[in-house]
Every structure is written in structure tokens, then in C-alpha cells.
Amino acid sequence: MAHWRMSPNLELNQVVDRLNAAGADIMNLAFGESRLPLLPSLADLLTAAAHRTTYGPVAGTPAVREAAAGFLGRRGLPTDPEQVVVAPGSKPLLMAVQLAVPGDVLLPRPCWNSYAPQARLAGKAPIGVPITAEAGGVPDPAALRATIRTARARGLDPRLLICTLPDTPTGTLAPPRLVRAICSIAEDEDLVILSDEIYRDIVHDPGTEFLSPAEVAPHRTVVTNGLSKSMALGGWRIGLARFPAGARGEQIQAGVLGAASDLWSTLAHPMQEVAGYVLGDPPEVRERLAASARLHGSVARTLHTVMVAAGARCRPPTAAFYVYPDFEPLRAPLAALGITDSHSLQQYLFEEYDIAVLAGHKLGDETGALRFKASTSMLYGRTPDEQLEALDSADPAALPHIRRATRRIEAAVADLRSRCLVEDSV
């Protein structure tokens, strides 16, 4: 533990901020911060809640737990307030669930960069399982069965499976068929599922069917969510978890509350008041969620088009605000530029084009793969006015200030491709 490294997304974000503050103009596609203005009424709510200075219950106040239960119920998960725990972000809740569930942990490969370090802290071996060509966030079912067998043969004890629905880094949503297949394996193998649904309210097409593992395997699935992504409130640190009804769920929840009591006490009380309002889904919040999803989708599709035009393979994004291109088709010519893995690909984009992306190996992917995660969420404008214009637009990617940003990326990867082709033809 003495040589714990800073998580790569937060670290790179700080590096970019420092360089830009010193006069650089680096485009930050490496950090999943939804940079959109505060919904104005939330400032008033925070003011009204300022006098809440007591600790209160570790799990959260009855009011916020009830609001969260309603929020989850309206999303297909009927919930008793007693099943809910709120916290300063979903990150500490994910950590606490890893502490509360014994055994080792299965992760989609690639996946969000904090699951594996959290697993190691909890004394777990993180076991990566490839995703399908269709969608990320859940493992390929056949690979999952095979990996569990292999892991057990190696003396590991996989007992927890983390899923991300919708997914970071791929910006996709696992379809119901895949979710059912995974849940069936979880039943067969007696796995607890931890379904990270922080991007639940950022599905680009409102008609998309969303199926949570908690609907299919209700007694073995913990769900986490929060306001950081959907409401662009990362800096307010508001997360929640829903534990399964029944004895197993209660045991996991008791372990999480124990860890919470010794690690963070509770979510800041004024933030609980804000969460209680937002989780009630009032009309202005529903409107903001819809506008945000439209914006994220519009820009993510543009970035997808740009990557494919440059020669990459890339799953079409349908949720969240990421694309995860694979430059494997250009492996030979990229090698001539010294780009042989995700690390050198990230470095090249940073040094040649001032574009920061997150190399796939930092997300558990194969080091040799030519993949990276690119977030669209900081491309929506430099000022609140530009960002509001983007939220209000029926075609956000066509706005001049957003086009400038996506064209810069387009020019960079087009230039990369042309350098490849030149090298290749030499």
C-alpha cells in the first residue's frame, strides 16, 4: 500500500489543468467530468440546507433515502428506503461493497480505472474478463464462464462481478439479452453482482430498453448511482447504493455501513438535502436530464464518426459520454511512428496534437492494444453561456464552438492517419 499510485484519470486531469493554467491549450478528453452549468434552483436548495450541520445517520436521512427509493422505483427497481445508503460519491460505496463481499472480483476488460485498485485494497484479486464486440460494461458470457473455471483452478475465489451499465469506457449499454446471460451465470456460480449505474440517466435514445441486473437477479445485485454524471455535479460528491432485499443483501449492507462509519461517517448533510430534491425527479430535473443526454449523444456520435473515418474500429456510442476507438487496423503503419501500444498512442496524441486521452491499459485492457478512452464531456463550451446553448440546441454537434472542438480532434487523427500512410508507403 505504501506505493499507491494516483488514479490515472484524476492525475492526468490535474496535469492538463496545470499546463493549461500555464498557457498551454491542451484538449482534455481524458477525464469524465460533465462540464455543464449548475441547475440554478440547486444553489437555493444548498442555501436552505446550510443549517444542517449535524452528522445524522450513516446511511443518510430518512428523507433522502425515501427520495432515492422513489428514484429507483421509477427506474424499474421498486425499493424500500431501508435498502438505500447515500455517500460522498458512489466511489466510496463501490469500495465499501468490495470490502463487504468476500472473495475475488471479476471485472469487464476494459473497465473504469478505480475498480481494480479498490479490489486490491480489499484484499481481492481483480480478474479481467473480455467484453463482446457489441457492448462493454459486462463480460462476454462465454469468456466469463471460462474465466471463472480457470480462476478457480488457479486457487482464486471469484465471488463478486462488477458491471457498468451504461459503460465507461465504451459509451455503450449492454442489451437485455447480455444482461440476462450474465445474471444466469451469476446464479449458477453464486456471484454477487455490483451494478454501477452512474450513467443510468445518460442513454442517448430515450426509447432504449434498459435492463438492470437487479431486475433479473434481485437478491444478488447491489446497484450504485449518483448525481455526478447525469446532473454534472461531480464536485458535489453525491452517490447512492441500493442493496438487495433479503438476508444476503442485509449482510452486505451491514458491512457497507460498518465500513462507512469508519471511513467517511456520512454524506455532507446539506448535500443530502439537495439529493433529496433532485432524486424526486421534478420537471426541471427531468428536462435537464433529457437535454444532457441529447447533448452527450450528439457529440459522442460525432467523435465516433471522426474515429472511424481515421481508420479506427469503434463501437457506436449509445450512452454516457465516451468513445473507445481501436486503432488495430493501423497497427503496422503506426508502428513506423513508434506507436506500438496504448501508452505510446496516448503519448503521441498528447505530444503531437495537445490532446489528452486515457490509454486503454490504464483501464485494464491489454497493454499492446491500440485503444484509448476519449470523453466528450468537456467539449461543450468554455463558458456557462456556451454550455447552456449546447444544452438547448436540437443539434449540439453543429454549434460553431462544438464544431471547432470536434474538428480539432478530426484534424489530429486525420493527420495521424496521413503520417501513417506516408510512413507505410515509404
Contact residues for a copy of itself, defined by CB under 8 A: 1-7, 10-11, 13-14, 17, 31, 33, 35, 37-38, 42-43, 46-47, 50-58, 88-89, 91-92, 95, 99-102, 114, 117-118, 121-123, 232-237, 251, 254-255, 257-259, 261-271
In 217-246, which residue ranges form alpha helices assigned H by DSSP?
none
In the block, residue with C-alpha cell 447515500? 86
> CB of 314: closest distance to a copy of itself in angstroms?
26
**Choice between 237 and 417, CB closer to a copy of itself:** 237
Cβ atoms of residues 239 and 89 within 8 Å: yes
Number of C-alpha atoms within 13 angstroms, CB side, residue 416? 31
Burial 138-149 (b: 16+ CB within 10 A, else e): bbbbebbbebbe
Q: CA torsion sign, 165 to 166 to 169 to 172?
A: positive
**Choice between 235 and 400, CB closer to a copy of itself:** 235
**Choice between 11 and 281, CB closer to a copy of itself:** 11
**Choice between 212 and 266, CB closer to a copy of itself:** 266
The total of other beta-carbon atoms located within 10 Å of residue 426's CB is 7
**Choice between 43 and 142, CB closer to a copy of itself:** 43
Structure letter (DSSP) for residue 362: G
**Choice between 122 and 185, CB closer to a copy of itself:** 122
Q: Which set of grid coordinates corresponds to residue 349?
A: 496524441
> CB of 143: closest distance to a copy of itself in angstroms?
26
d(CA 302, CA 296): 10
> CB of 95: closest distance to a copy of itself in angstroms?
6
> CB of 215: closest distance to a copy of itself in angstroms?
26
Cβ atoms of residues 349 and 26 within 8 Å: no
> CB of 54: closest distance to a copy of itself in angstroms?
5
> CB of 189: closest distance to a copy of itself in angstroms?
18
**Choice between 59 and 178, CB closer to a copy of itself:** 59
> CB of 23: closest distance to a copy of itself in angstroms?
17
31-34, Cβ contacts within 8 angstroms, sequence gap of 24 or more: 31/356, 31/358, 31/375, 31/377, 31/378, 32/168, 32/229, 32/321, 32/322, 32/375, 32/377, 33/234, 33/375, 33/377, 33/378, 34/228, 34/229, 34/230, 34/232, 34/234, 34/292, 34/296, 34/321, 34/377
**Choice between 155 and 235, CB closer to a copy of itself:** 235
> CB of 108: closest distance to a copy of itself in angstroms?
18
400 by Cβ neighbours in 10 Å (0-12 / 13-18 / 19+) ranks as exposed
In terms of Cα–Cα distance, which of 390, 421, 173 is closest to 302?
A: 390
> CB of 14: closest distance to a copy of itself in angstroms?
5
Structure letter (DSSP) for residue 395: S
**Choice between 112 and 350, CB closer to a copy of itself:** 112
